[in-house]
Each structure stands twice: as structure tokens, then as C-alpha cells.
Chains A and B, each alone.
Chain A
Amino acid sequence: MKQIYLDNNATTPIHAEVFDEMLPYLKEQFGNPSSVHWAGRAVRGAVEHAREQVAQAINASPAEIVFTACGSEGDNYAIKGTVDALKKKGNHIITTKVEHPGVLEVCTYLEKTGCEVTYLDVDENGMIDLAELEAAITEKTVLISIMWANNETGTLSPIREIGEIAKKHKIRFHSDAVQALGKVPVDVQDGNVDMLVLSGHKIGAPKGVGAIYVRRGTKLTPFMHGGHQERHRRAGTHNVAGIVAMGKACELAVQDLDTKAETLKKLRDKLEAGIVAAVPETLVNGHPTERLPNTLNISFAYIEGESLLLNLDMKNIAASSGSACTSGSLEPSHVLGAMGVPVELAHSSTRFSLGPETTDEDIDFVLQELPPIVQRLRDMSPIYPGQDVKTQCCTGNCCPVE
């Protein structure tokens, strides 16, 4: 049976051209780019070429790109590095309630060390209020950290407007753009972003490589101390093959972006419309228009997300869910919670994230297989058809026995 992968926001397959490009650096080109000799010289150029490719993809200069190991490292570096570098100025961070844990967990950690953090609310579409952002700024504010696109719902932040507010108040602006590159235009000049985080495996490079853009003149305390790599900004021997892959993946991500995004959107919209038409009592989570073209987050009332995922998996369809059972915690998605999605609908949320390899046939197959699965699970559900479903979240140790 054909495998259908609709979990591209989790990770992506390695792009064939990226794989070819990186392969020599896993084999004969083994040198350390910091070495003076022939072996080092042979790979140094490759690292610098990759740096140019990354810079070009986001309209930055190569010297502003620092290679990292992943998106979380970039977020940690941007936030902790700023807090340390600007500690004489203040200790206040503004972020949102819907950030990736790579940002949220860093902020809650920093709160324990004396930082103050404002977590902005979002509306039912996952959108922040710009007036609220501006009102949250104090004399102590050192950083605004707001993601470019939400990983769960695909909702796009008003980056340009946030950038303007940050510029007006002379506050540093960090954006996690891990989900955005290759799906929507990402331009650090246009967005007035000071620090931008990217991850390789979300755009067809392998896991274990990422990059952060740090605007020239932005003081940032290093996260990794040690060698002099990356102009003392990130110690550690270069992951040469990964970096080469990251460069190539960035180059490909922005190639024909409009066409690719249009194709993704067409397929995603077909999936969305098809599901909504075939399955009653669903709720699409995310902004109706300001949304990544590849992402569909949808709740199926009366059934639980993991059950649906397991059934889809039996049909070789890979998706993901915001239910507590799949989030590794007892609470369902914090993103949907912040959007005011009733908790039982958050448990039933399912995310389909399309990729460049998704075909029309894939979508047809999902539309054929999904409705009967939902119906079977609903027929098994004690709360179907609709009853008076409690909407309170249970805190404490999960389900109290009644």
C-alpha cells in the first residue's frame, strides 16, 4: 500500500538534490573547515557557500548567518543570548501563548532566573493583537519573540507590523521561522527581524542542522562556548555535511516559491473542503486566510485524536494530533487552548501538513478513507451524537473517577 505522508510540519524527507549535494561531505570530503591544510581547505569553501545560500534565501548577508544544530538551539541562543547581553537594559520579554516549546520553555525557565515575561493572548484564529503588543512594552523590555508561522495551525503572524513596532520602540525582534521558510516569503529586511531561526529538517535537509540569522550589530552572548567557529558565536566543529545540506535546502526552498505555495494551497484547500463536506461537526483551527498554505488543523467532534491517527496509520496515512495522548503531556494543545478551542475539541484535533511530494491522488485517498473512520469512532463514542459536553479542563492528575 502506498505511504502517504501528511506530517511535513513535524519533519520532511531529505530532498534528492540536497542528498546528492551533501554526500561527498560524508565520504571523501572529511576535513575540518578550521584546519589550514588541504583537507580543511577542501571543505571550507563549501561551508561558506552554504552560508551564502541561507543568507540569500532570507535576504540577509552571509556574515549574519550562524549555523546551529536545530531550531530549538537557535531559539535558546536568541532568547538567552539577548537576556544576558542586555541585562543592564532590562529583563522583560514579550512573547505569545502559542509559541513552540523551543521559545515558551526558554521563557518559563528565564522567569525562574528573574526575567519577566508577557505572554500575549491570541484570538480564535490564533492571531495576536498589535495594540496589546505595543501596550505590553515597558522600559525594561529587551526582546519581542513571536513566531513567523504557527506549527500546529499554520496561522501567520503579522511580522511586518510587529517589526515596525519593535523598530519604533528600539526593541530587538526575534522570530522563529522554522515553519515558514519554503511555504511563505521570509525576508528579514521586510520584516525588520533582528534574529530569525531556521531548521534544516523542515525544508528537506537532514535532522541535526539549523541556522540563525543575527542582524549585524546585534550583541548576543554565545550559547555554546569553546572554539572560535562561526566568529566566536557558536563553538563546535562544523557539521559540514549538514551545513552543505542546509544551504542547498534553503536555495531550493525559495525557488519557484509562489508556484509551489499555490500548489500546496490548492491541495490543502481540496482536503479541507472535502473533509468539511463529508464529515459533519468539524472545526477548522487556524486563520481562514493568513495561514501556511500546507497546513490543515481540524477537530472532529466526539472522537479522540490518537484513535483517529492510529486508524489513519493503518491506512498508511501519517498525520498528527494536538490531543494530550500524542503531545506527551496530560493537557491537549496549548495552542488550541490559547485560541479558546474547547478542550474536548482540542483532544480531537488532527493536523495534516502537506509537502512538495503530496499529490492529488494522496488527497483523494485521504478523502476516501477518513470519513468512514471518523464515523466508526463516533459510533463507538458515548458522547455521540452530541450531548452536553463539559468544557472545563481537568487540572490535576488527569481523569478523576466519578
Chain B
Amino acid sequence: MYSDKVMDHFTNPRNVGEIDKADGVGEVGNASCGDIMKIFLKVDDKGVIEDVKFKTFGCGAAIATSSMVTEMAIGKTLAEAEELTNEAVAEALDGLPSQKMHCSNLAADALHAAIKNYRETHNL
């Protein structure tokens, strides 16, 4: 069902956890849907994403996309990270089963929510 890349990120998820005193935190989904993704950001003074961590409640696709989006976002400017789409995350994982595309593929949305939170809390 899942690509090798999805299984790799599901089995060995990158950047799991929380960032203490994170610069931005974003959460999407809810438990009743079976998916919650929470993203924590550390942003340097040049507006570059220094670190990203995630916590996810969800299926294999939800965990793998969360892991992938953290890898994709680290080192990017906020503007660049805002360009990341759910589709691009899925593509980086060599695709997701069709039934997962709209349901468990929310990692970029979680990242964007964290960036929005960062901008709001820093009055940017």
C-alpha cells in the first residue's frame, strides 16, 4: 500500500518531539477525524527555519508526511516554507494511496499554521 519512502519515514520518523519555547506552533486536524498534526518551529533572526519538530496522532501516512515536512522545511526561509504544499510533501514520499491524499496529507498545512502563529506572535 505505501511506498518504501513512506514506510521509512513512518518507521524512523525524523524530528519527532517538541521544541521548548518554540517560535511558532501550529496544529491541524482533530482526534475525531483520526488525524492531528502539531508542528513546532525555531526561526533565526534572518527568518530562516532553524529547527522543526512534530507530534502526530494518525495513520502511517499522517506520521510519514509529518516527518517529511520537517526535513523539507529546515533551512528554508519562512517565505519558501510557505510555498510548500501537501502535494509536494506527498510527492517527496513517492506518492500516497489516493484515499490518503485529502485525509492524512495535512503536514504542509500544519507547517503553515505554525508559520502563521510565528508571524502573529512576533507581530510580523
Do A and B make up one complex?
yes
B19 is an interface residue with CB less than 8 A from chain A: no
| Interface bin, chain B | 20 to 34
User: With contacts A307-B60, A383-B57, A398-B103 known, what are 4 further pairs, Cβ within 8 A?
Assistant: A310-B7, A324-B34, A347-B34, A381-B36
Asked whether A328 lies within 8 Å of B99 as measured between CB atoms, the reply is yes
Task: Report B77-104 residues with CB < 8 Å from chain A CB.
Answer: 99-100, 102-104
Q: What secondary structure prevails in chain B residues at the interface with A? A: mixed
Asked whether A307 lies within 8 Å of B106 as measured between CB atoms, the reply is no
Residues of B close to A392: CB separation below 8 A: 32
Distance of A380 Cα from B35 Cα, bound (Å): 12
Asked whether B56 lies within 8 Å of A401 as measured between CB atoms, the reply is no
6 residue pairs bridging A and B, Cβ less than 8 Å apart: A302-B57, A304-B34, A307-B59, A307-B63, A382-B37, A398-B35
Q: Indicate with 1 or 0, residue by residue over B31-54, a CB within 8 angstroms of chain A CB atoms.
A: 111111110000000000000000
B23 is an interface residue with CB less than 8 A from chain A: no
B16 is an interface residue with CB less than 8 A from chain A: yes
Which among A302, A304, A343 is the interface contact of B35 at CB below 8 angstroms? A304
| Interface bin, chain A | 35 or more
B13 is an interface residue with CB less than 8 A from chain A: yes
A306 is an interface residue with CB less than 8 A from chain B: yes
Asked whether A304 lies within 8 Å of B58 as measured between CB atoms, the reply is yes
Residues of A close to B10: CB separation below 8 A: 307, 310
Asked whether B103 lies within 8 Å of A330 as measured between CB atoms, the reply is yes
B62 is an interface residue with CB less than 8 A from chain A: yes
Residues of A close to B76: CB separation below 8 A: none
A194 is an interface residue with CB less than 8 A from chain B: no
Q: Indicate with 1 or 0, residue by residue over A345-384, a CB within 8 angstroms of chain B CB atoms.
A: 0010000000000000000000000000000000111111
Residues of A close to B37: CB separation below 8 A: 382
Task: Report A321-337 residues with CB < 8 Å from chain B CB.
Answer: 323-325, 328, 330, 332
Chain B interface (Cβ within 8 Å of chain A)? 7, 10-11, 13, 16, 27-38, 55-63, 99-100, 102-104, 106, 109, 113
Query: What 5 A-B pairs come out closest when comparing CB atoms?
Result: A344-B31, A306-B59, A382-B55, A399-B33, A382-B38
Asked whether A390 lies within 8 Å of B30 as measured between CB atoms, the reply is yes
A314 is an interface residue with CB less than 8 A from chain B: yes
Q: Indicate with 1 or 0, residue by residue over A378-402, a CB within 8 angstroms of chain B CB atoms.
A: 0111111000011111100111111
Residues of B close to A332: CB separation below 8 A: 34
Asked whether B31 lies within 8 Å of A399 as measured between CB atoms, the reply is no
Asked whether B55 lies within 8 Å of A323 as measured between CB atoms, the reply is no
Asked whether B16 lies within 8 Å of A397 as measured between CB atoms, the reply is no
A303 is an interface residue with CB less than 8 A from chain B: yes
Asked whether B32 lies within 8 Å of A394 as measured between CB atoms, the reply is yes
Which among B7, B27, B103, B104 is the interface contact of A382 at CB below 8 angstroms? B27
Asked whether A391 lies within 8 Å of B32 as measured between CB atoms, the reply is yes
Asked whether B60 lies within 8 Å of A380 as measured between CB atoms, the reply is no
Task: Report A234-293 residues with CB < 8 Å from chain B CB.
Answer: none
Distance of A394 Cα from B62 Cα, bound (Å): 17
Closest approach, in angstroms, between the C-beta of A294 and any C-beta of chain B?
A: 26
Closest approach, in angstroms, between the C-beta of A36 and any C-beta of chain B?
A: 50
Distance of A384 Cα from B17 Cα, bound (Å): 12
Task: Report A12-62 residues with CB < 8 Å from chain B CB.
Answer: none
